[in-house]
Structure 1
Amino acid sequence: MSRSIESMLGLLKIRVKRGINLVVSDTFSSDPYVKLKTKVVNSNCNPVWNEDLTLPIRDTNIPVHLTVFDKDTFTGDDKMGEAIIDIRPYMESIKMGLENLPNGCAIKKLQPTRENCLLDESGIIWNNGKITQDMALKLRNVESGVVEIRLEWVDVLRV
């Protein structure tokens, strides 16, 4: 087994759902994508991606950085905002080893703070045998914009 796989705790699946009220980066609109890497949605400041992206997690103390860009054909892509995803509360819930809870059971609720990018309350929920967390992230360093995502943990089998 390779050293990089041995050091991996598991995989974090991030479903990038959609963007809301993203800034207009070009003259009339933007062609946004999220740098974790989603498809580009042309001419839309309220894009729907509904894409699953998977990241290897080696250290739960390192936040995930999400950046939204406007795809440009002839010049460099323009940054449309960024958000930090603190995965520690989610990972703490995973480590609890909970099973067989009723669907929709809230394990933990997180409130928006100055340190996180949450737009509103985010619940870590037991659903269909999985622990998920839906969150609306307010983009930083930009006039407006929200990206909705869902976290889900994928265990890595060890041989």
Structure 2
Amino acid sequence: AIEESTRRRESALRQHAFFQLRVNLKRGNDLIARDKSGTSDPYVKFKVNGRLLYKSKTIYRDLNPVWDETFVLPIEDPFLPIHIKVFDYDWGLQDDFMGAAYLDLTKFELGK
């Protein structure tokens, strides 16, 4: 039964040439401190297949940032996961990696 529902979902996804994913990036909680001051300057990147789709604003000196950003991501291939990575902005230096997550779009319901 699971295989049949997976097949139906994949078939539905293949019927469309293009998708849009509406995202509401709300906040981060208890992020790790990456700066000597004991805080971080976090921002979030959304990528698919190494290509940047969206970058949030940077919230300075905050381990519990509130972005409250809503945006739409163009999805050309729903079978490729979205990589979500959080970084600490460092002026003039390489930004520090803070954490990551992946979104498997095949698990979402169309139109929801």
TM-score by length of structure 2 reads 0.72
CA 1:8–1:32 in structure 2 vs 1: closer, same or farther (change >3 Å)?
farther
- Identity percentage of aligned residues: 40
Q: Which amino acid aligns with 1:52?
A: T
Matched, 1:31 2:49: no
- Segments of 5+ residues of structure 1 without an aligned counterpart are 1-6, 95-129, 132-159
Q: Which amino acid aligns with 1:34?
A: V
Consecutive aligned runs of 4 or more in structure 1 exceeding 3 Å deviation:
none
- Segments of 5+ residues of structure 2 without an aligned counterpart are 1-15, 46-53
Question: Any idea what SS the aligned residue of 1:34 has?
Answer: strand
Q: Deviations over 1:78-109 (max 9, x none)?
A: 1111110111111xx21xxxxxxxxxxxxxxx
TM-score by length of structure 1 reads 0.52
- Aligned counterparts of 2:60 and 2:99: Cα–Cα separation in 1: 17
Greater share of helix:
2
Q: Deviations over 1:14-50 (max 9, x none)?
A: 1111001111111110000001311111100110001
Q: Which amino acid aligns with 2:43?
A: Y
Contact 2:42 2:89 in 1 (8 A): yes
Aligned length: 88
State the Cα RMSD in Å: 1.5
Contact 2:19 2:78 in 1 (8 A): no
Contact 1:8 1:56 in 2 (8 A): no
- Aligned counterparts of 2:31 and 2:19: Cα–Cα separation in 1: 32
Matched, 1:54 2:64: no
